[in-house]
Structures are given as structure tokens and as C-alpha cells.
Amino acid sequence: MPTILNTTVNTNTGTGASATKPNAYYDKLMLNLLVQTEFMHTKFAQERPLPSKAGDTVNFRRIQKLTPSLTPLVEGVTPDGLNGQVTAMTVTTAQYGDYLAFSDLVDVTQIDPIVKEYTIELARMFREKLDLIVRDELNGGSNVFYAGGKTERVALATGDKPTIDGFRKVVLAMKKNFVKPAMNDRYVAFVTPDVAFDLQDDAKFLKAYEIGQNNTPQMKGSLADVYGIHFIELNNAKIFDGAGALGVDVHSSIILGQKPYGITKINGQGVQTFTKGLGSSGTSDPLNQRQTIGVKINAFAVKRLYEEAIARYESVPTGA
């Protein structure tokens, strides 16, 4: 059972103590939440709805590339046939949900529409939750590149900054593996604000940006469109805290080709919100003192499908 939000307002005194002021006057205007509202990790996925009552497991199948034979036919002789191969990948969906509880006096005594404000925030938070689940799946891949010529995360140190050449090498490897671009003939790179800060000091990045004259952002969070890479700055991009040499933070940049991961949910069973009014709990709430708001998705899963089309470029930005 979570803590029930009531009418008490807690105020930090600056010394670590907390002062309770249940009757204090306060401004009627709620302050804006300092939170992220745009979530991009799910944007470039293949979406595969799961039919209702069809179980909780989805099988993705991938046909392996055929290798051409350069040997000419011999008259009257049937050649050896090609070997086709299909790889199956399975993912099981899971259920996710969260809720908040409020006392009855929140509606009676509060000036602010607390329940309404938290309903909006709960929905935003749940979108962030699903986005982070996808982010962590993308960061679990085996296709990894490191800045500064390093070969493992623990070796990354101050000075191993992200560079535009580092990103270009990642894209070069993708092209050699026949990976198509993610959007508009461009590969996509998710970067942290610190990585974006360093890139904007990179001479090659700046030169390409100035010459391109085509860097109008195509979506929110877009940083630039250079060297065939569309950079998107994300506040919730992955950071491996203290994972580098001497405990420095390592920033992960995810580079994507065309739809290399899949997202699935039960058809018609998207994110749902639930409101339980005062007294809806029956005898467990005999005095109508508790109410709740909640959000849930019955089935959600994400799966990397093409490892060669999802790359992780790890670095230690200047500000890390």
C-alpha cells in the first residue's frame, strides 16, 4: 500500500529538516513540472500488435541473406542448391502498472486540483516508463564501439570524448553490413545533452553543419543532420554511472538503421487509466477516506531484431 497523499504540505527548511504547515496560504497557480515530455526511443521500432486471446508470446522471424554463387552452370549438370535459413526470435509480453492513493480531504480542503494534476503526471510518467524499457533493451546489444580507441567500457576515461568521426565509423560498419538508413536516407543517433555539447565543438561537425544548409529540425529534439546521420538529443539517453576508469560516467549513444527492433502489445489493449472513487473499496474503506488513480498496460514487450542495425557508441563527454 503506497503512502496516501493528504492535505499536509512539506517544506524543506534548508537544513535537512522538514516543517509541516497544514494551513499555510499558497499560490493558486501550480508550478510547472520540470520533466521530460518527449519520448523518442520507441519511434523507430516495428510495431507488431498481438491478437487478443492469442497468448503472451510473439515470434519474430528473420530470413538470412543468401550468398550468390559465381560458378557458371555446366551443361546438363544440376548445381547444388542454395541453403536458406530462417532465424526465429521470441519475446514474451509483460504487464506494467502504477497508481496513486489520495485521502478524502484532498478534494475538500485543497485549493489545487491535485487529483487532476496527478492524473496528467501519471500518464506522462507511464509514457516515460515504457520509453525507458525500450531504451534499456536497445542498450543491451552486442554491437558496441568505444571512443578514444578503447576496447571496453571500464577503460574509458576523461578525454575519451565523442567525435563525429566516431559516429561515422559506426555508420560505415552498418553500410558494410547492408543496413539501410532509419529515415529519409539518414541513420539516427540518440545522444545525451553532454554528447551533443561536445559534438558542437567538433570541427568536422561544425563544417558539415555550416555547409549543409539543410539542418532544419525534422522533429522535436533534433540536433543536426550531418554526414548522413540525424542526431536527436535526449535527456533520458542512457548513462552508465561510474562505469568508466576511476569511476567516470560513460554516456551511451544509440545509432539506428531501418526498424531494427520490434514493439508489441495486445491489439486494442493499449495504456488504460483507472479512477476509483471514495468508498469504491467497500468494507475496506468504510468511511470513504481513500481514492486512487492508476494506469496500466496489459501486455508490452520490446525486442532487438537486427543487432548489426543497432550500435552503441560509448564515450566520456567533457562535462561528464
DSSP structure string for 75-103: TT-PPPPP---EEEEEEE-EEEEEEEEEE
Supply φ then ψ for residue 177, to 5 degrees.
-95, 15
Question: Which residues are 296's β-sheet partners?
Answer: 97, 272
Residues whose CB is less than 8 angstroms from the CB of residue 45 and which lie 6 or more positions away in sequence, other chains included: 134, 259, 261, 262, 263, 302
Are 60 and 262 in contact by the 8 Å Cβ rule? The answer is yes
* Assigned C-alpha cell, 117: 494534476
Please tell me the distance from the alpha carbon of residue 120 to that of residue 117, in angstroms, as a whole number: 5
Q: How confident is the model at residue 29 (pLDDT cuts 50, 70, 90)?
A: low
> pLDDT tens, 116-127?
888 888 888 999
Place of cell 555508420: 171
Residues sharing a CB contact under 8 Å with residue 60, sequence separation 6 or more, in sequence order: 48, 88, 89, 90, 91, 262, 303, 305
> CA 69 to CA 111: how far, in whole Å?
76
Label residue 16 by pLDDT band (50, 70, 90): very low
pLDDT (mean) for 178-192: 95
- pLDDT tens-digit profile of 269-317? 778 888 888 888 887 888 888 888 889 998 899 999 999 999 999 999 9
Q: What is the pLDDT of residue 75?
A: 93
CATH of domain 140-262+305-315: 3.30.1930
pLDDT score, position 50: 80
Each residue of 214-264: pLDDT tens digit?
A: 555 445 557 788 999 999 999 999 999 999 999 999 999 999 999 899 998
pLDDT tens across 70-110, in order? 889 999 999 888 888 888 888 888 999 999 888 877 765 55
DSSP character at residue 67: P
Quote the mean pLDDT of the chain: 84
**So what's the pLDDT on residue 4?**
65
Cα 227 to the chain's mean position, in Å?
24
Return the residue matching grid coordinates 564501439.
Answer: 145
Q: Residue 315's pLDDT is what?
A: 98
Q: Residue 74: what are its φ and ψ, rounded to 5°?
A: -100, 130
Give, in degrees to the nearest 5, the angle at Cα 315 between 314 and 320.
130
Q: Where are the beta strands (DSSP E) in 153-258?
A: 187-191, 222-226, 229-233, 239-240, 250-256
